[in-house]
Amino acid sequence: MKFDAMLKARWGAADTLLCVGLDPDPARFSERLQHSPDSIYQFCTSIVDATADFVCAFKPQIAYFASAGAEDALQRLIVYVRATHPAIPVILDAKRGDMASTAQHYAREVFERYDAHAVTLSPYLGFDSIEPYLAYPDRGVFLLCRTSNAGGDDLQMLQVEGERLYERVARLAVEWNRSGQLGLVVGATYPRELARVRALAGEMPLLVPGIGAQGGDVEGSVKAGQTADGAGIVVNSSRAIIYASGNGDFAEAARHAAQKARDEINRYRFATA
């Protein structure tokens, strides 16, 4: 099944727009888990099993694995999700962006080595840096558009021929989306810009990080970003869920936090701003 079809099916079947981000930091693990030589894999699979009922996707952040030399754990984690929860897509948060010849190798890394269903990319180098990823027709790509960090203003809010740069990125994404594989990343910290991107992007899926620890506006984001059928967005929460407890009950605490986040998001579905 293609990524976009998986995502739509999950939105409906599981009645959820929540994505759980997997950002494993061993310093925040329970004391007992810290002593395990395979702690990152054990932590992440425990979170996956505990929260799977409430999510439309999982989003591992590659830097957390790479900095710990745990790329093998990331590979095994995605194998585990595919085998144990096959209806839930995995979005690899890599934010890659390089010239086409190099992008071909990054695409192989994401879609062959790690076997992720989708990836986040920077569009800064233009379409030829995105095209190698689109050679995998069953996979998805989310382009950074209006990111959740305050520093995003430095470039994304610049005026470009009468519009903001993030608006130009959204327009370009629509032009580039001939295969239907593209989506956009727009932070929950900017609901006004999220509404603007939705107006420009039509039905394109939007990955919306920034709720939870970053303090994004859940109500504003859902109302601004959802499509007419109450879907269209992948609302990510990472630290507020996976570190809901630093003790041995971390998985149970994550489950409760994920259910609470799912229910809060659903409270505003189909509502208008």
Residue whose C-alpha is closest to residue 56's, from 24, 85, 23 = 85
Where would I find the H helices in the chain?
3-13, 31-34, 39-51, 62-66, 71-84, 100-108, 127-134, 153-156, 165-176, 191-201, 218-225, 239-242, 250-267
The per-residue b/e assignment along 226-261, b for 16 or more CB within 10 angstroms, e otherwise, is: bbeebbbbbbbbbebbbbbeeeeebbebbbbbbbbb
Give the Å distances, CA to CA, from 107 to 6, 56, 83, 129: 20, 23, 22, 10
Set 59, 95, 223, 260: catalytic member: 95
Q: Bin 222: left if φ > 0, else alpha if -120 < ψ < 50, else beta.
A: alpha
Cβ-contact 218, 268 below 8 angstroms: yes
d(CA 138, CA 118): 9
* DSSP H or E run through 182: strand 182-186
Q: Based on the residue annotation, tell me whether 95 is a catalytic residue of this protein.
A: yes
Rounded Cα distance between 58 and 264, Å, is 18
> What are the residues facing 121 on neighbouring strands?
96, 143
Half-sphere exposure of 19 (CA within 13 A, CB side): 28
Active site residues: 95
